[in-house]
């Protein structure tokens, strides 16, 4: 079945090489549409479509002019060399004995009219065909099987095997390209993830710098606060010392003595009141 299908596709493949175009300017002109190595793929597809339209289009009369199909084997024969189709042609019109009567009558006519002259070499003719018939009966099937097997081996080696390799290579290339397309489709997700990663890194760096600015400003403000507190503390201590020194300097020895006496008197009064309150 695979051999027959491939043979049926052969005209389609060959039709892409040379297409006969019928035009008003040049009737029966032949237009070559052989695919060049550097031809764009769109042009190649267009050429294939043109060939298929001419050979398999709706205008083709498939009833009166069917597409020829190469047979896989030789047609059956009788008597070793006469096609079976000839016998079938006579059988439909004259019966089963018709082909044999026609053949015998034809040979008799040729001999009687001396169209086929029997001479001294006629025995060689009879011997040749007798030997041919014997060889056909004895080795015909073997030779036919060998020829068919050789033909199949040749087709397998020079046609089917390269075609299978080409198909396998094309399928592998298609799968690889589909995989690459799938990988390319995933690149956008990778780019988005990388973009988000970069954004997160930028955000982290921005917040880190903000923290550094905050800590630097805080240190400077703390420094200024410490400077102000130190200045106020020094000023306060200086003011206290200055006032104390001024008060101390303003007290005379007599005032100091009177103040001490007054303090002693107050202490005694407090002590007497405390004793009375206790009693």
Residues 6+ positions from 54 with CB-CB distance below 8 Å: 15, 19, 20, 21
- HSE-up (13 A, CA, CB side) for residue 128: 5
Q: What is the pLDDT of residues 114-130, one digit of tens each?
A: 898 888 888 888 898 88
**250 in a structural domain:** yes
Which tokens go with 262?
Answer: 């007054």
**137 in a structural domain:** no
**166-191: string of b/e by CB count within 10 Å (b at 16+)?**
eeeeeeeeeeeeeeeeeeeeeeeeee
**153 in a structural domain:** no
Residue 10 pLDDT greater than 60, yes or no: no
Q: What is the structure's pLDDT at 36? A: 57
Task: Please give the model's pTM, rounded to 2 decimal places.
Answer: 0.39
**184 in a structural domain:** no
**35 in a structural domain:** yes
Number of domains the chain is built from: 3
Residue 159 pLDDT greater than 50, yes or no: yes
Which tokens go with 256?
Answer: 């100091």
Q: What is the structure's pLDDT at 105? A: 93
**95 in a structural domain:** yes
Q: Are residues 10 and 50 in the same domain?
A: yes
First to last CA, the chain: 142
Domain housing 239: 193-272
**51 in a structural domain:** yes
**155 in a structural domain:** no
Residue 241 pLDDT greater than 90, yes or no: no
């Amino acid at each position: 079945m695979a051999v027959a299908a491939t043979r049926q596709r052969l005209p389609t493949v060959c039709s892409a090489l040379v297409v006969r175009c019928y035009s008003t300017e040049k009737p029966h002109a032949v237009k070559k549409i052989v695919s060049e190595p550097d031809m764009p793929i769109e042009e190649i597809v267009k050429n294939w479509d043109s060939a298929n339209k001419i050979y398999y289009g709706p205008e083709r009369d498939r009833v009166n002019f069917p597409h020829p199909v190469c047979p896989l084997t030789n047609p059956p024969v009788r008597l070793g060399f006469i096609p079976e189709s000839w016998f079938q042609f006579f059988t439909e019109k004259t019966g089963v004995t018709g082909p044999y009567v026609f053949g015998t009558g034809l040979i008799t006519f040729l001999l009687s009219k001396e169209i086929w002259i029997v001479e001294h070499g006629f025995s060689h003719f009879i011997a040749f065909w007798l030997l041919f018939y014997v060889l056909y009966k004895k080795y015909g099937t073997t030779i036919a099987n060998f020829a068919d097997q050789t033909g199949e081996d040749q087709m397998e080696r020079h046609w089917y095997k390269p075609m299978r390799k080409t198909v396998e290579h094309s399928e592998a290339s298609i799968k690889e390209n589909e995989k690459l397309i799938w990988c390319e489709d995933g690149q956008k997700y990778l780019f988005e993830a990388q973009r988000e990663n970069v954004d997160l890194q930028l955000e982290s760096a921005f917040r880190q710098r903000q923290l550094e600015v905050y800590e630097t400003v805080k240190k400077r403000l703390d420094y200024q606060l410490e400077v102000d507190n130190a200045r106020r503390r020094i000023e306060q201590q200086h003011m206290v010392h200055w006032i104390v020194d001024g008060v101390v300097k303003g007290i005379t020895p007599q005032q100091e003595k009177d103040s001490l006496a007054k303090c002693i008197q107050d202490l005694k009064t407090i002590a007497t009141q405390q004793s009375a309150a206790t009693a």
